[in-house]
Amino acid sequence: MTWRMVGTIDTILLSWLISGNPYTGLKIGFAEVVTKMLLYYVHERIWYNIRAGVTKKGDSKKRHIVKSLTWRIIGTVDTIILAWIISGDPLVGLQVGGAEVVTKMILYYFHERAWYKLDYGLENRRSKNLKN
């Protein structure tokens, strides 16, 4: 939920700046709320079950980087398609998607690291990994 708020605000601002229309920015940003929450949930479930980069101390920074990259690919394709459909202009879709590649990867990495430090929801995984 917290990432979706950060991501939606970023998408609204980028879409507004690129399209020149705040209403288009809002439509693109809010359309993404539904698609991104579903896609993000599926992405998280897959990564929860992948052991690559999991150590006895927890998840490695490399794991977080790879996870960020895979999410960004999925998220960017979703944004390009939505921005194109909503704006009616494929160039707007590509520009919004291209701009958010940079902003979202940076924002997501720091968001992920902050949540990891909170240890929220990781108890079961850590105890499971220590038993193996």
d(CA 32, CA 55): 34
pLDDT tens figures, 12-33: 999 999 999 999 999 999 999 8
Global pTM exceeds 0.85:
no
CA angle 34, 39, 45 (to 5 degrees): 130
* pLDDT the model gives residue 36: 86
Supply the mean pLDDT for the chain. Answer: 86
Contacts of 34 (CB under 8 A, 6+ apart): none
Mean pLDDT value of segment 2-10 = 87
Q: Is the dihedral of CA 122, 124, 128, 130 positive or negative?
A: positive
Find the domain containing 30 and state its range. Answer: 2-131
Q: How confident is the model at residue 39 (pLDDT cuts 50, 70, 90)?
A: very high
Q: Which pLDDT score is estimated for 125?
A: 52
| Residue 51 DSSP class | -
Helix H or strand E segment including 81: helix 61-87
Name the domain count of the chain: 1
